Amino acid sequence: MAENEVLLRQITEYVWIYPHGKKSERIEPVVGAIITSNQTVLIDCGNSPGHARAIQRALNEIKAPPVSTIIYTHHHWDHTFGSCVFDAEVIACQLCAHEMEKMAEIPWGPKWLEREMRENPLMERSNQAKLLVVDDWSELQIVKPNRVFTDQLTLHVDDIPLQLQWVGGPHASDSITVEVVGQGVLFVADCFYPPPFHLRKPEDSVDWNMLNRLGKESIQWYVHGHGDPLLSDEVMQLCQQMGK
């Protein structure tokens, strides 16, 4: 195994995470993996083909079975650009599917990104990150979901039920959460974060009250998009300190 390779972290019997990247300029979010003896289901899929291949190598390292399904938590590029590396069913909510249609129309590449930055300097951070992480634009394909739900969907991964729930929220109107039922894990991704930088207003902040509302007794782990997973006690403390 090459040096600097990131390893998957097991948080419960069937739930693993590929941790968020430590170099903030690369914007590499957490990717979740539900791994049974037959299949692997990914929650998001990396911010680029390169990131996705690193995730695949980490899955190979623990001899995980092939990726059968990818669930998009929301449409943002850093959660969806890795998809084209996998040969998998892709599930998303209706609003996300609609956003992915629009993403697929964009002529992605340095020319388009540089023009967008000239027109809107607030795109600088996000577009510089895309230029940094995508090595070969010719291999990037925007993968639209092939299974779409409106409000909620229960997906059975062998014996493990995943509860997909559209929640919206301040970060992106198409955000969903994924509960791994019986494992005490709730993937909340970015749903309670403020809007992305270029859409953010001075009054926008992390919506701790939203996270508090999403919580329930059976959940031990809250996995969010750009940090270490939080234990329920930590979430409770943060919500008390930061909420209101």
Binding site for Zn ion (CB under 5 A): 76, 190
Q: State in angstroms the smallest separation of the CB of 175 from Zn ion.
A: 8
What would the DSSP string read from start to end of 187-213? EEETTTSPPPGGG--TT----HHHHHH
Pick 76 or 144: Cβ nearer Zn ion: 76
Q: State in angstroms the smallest separation of the CB of 181 from Zn ion.
A: 25
Q: What are phi and psi of 2, to 5 degrees?
A: -70, 155
Pick 190 or 207: Cβ nearer Zn ion: 190
The CA distance from 49 to 62, in Å, is 20
The CA distance from 187 to 42, in Å, is 11
Q: What are phi and psi of 157, to 5 degrees?
A: -100, 95
Residues in CB range of 36: below 8 A, 6 or more apart: 14, 65, 157, 158, 159, 160
171 by DSSP, 3-state: which?
coil
Pick 76 or 130: Cβ nearer Zn ion: 76
Residue number closest to Zn ion, CB atom: 76
Q: State in angstroms the smallest separation of the CB of 159 from Zn ion.
A: 31
Pick 175 or 183: Cβ nearer Zn ion: 175
Q: State in angstroms the smallest separation of the CB of 151 from Zn ion.
A: 20
Q: State in angstroms the smallest separation of the CB of 172 from Zn ion.
A: 6
Residue 189 region, left (φ>0) first, then alpha (ψ -120 to 50), else beta? left
Pick 43 or 157: Cβ nearer Zn ion: 43
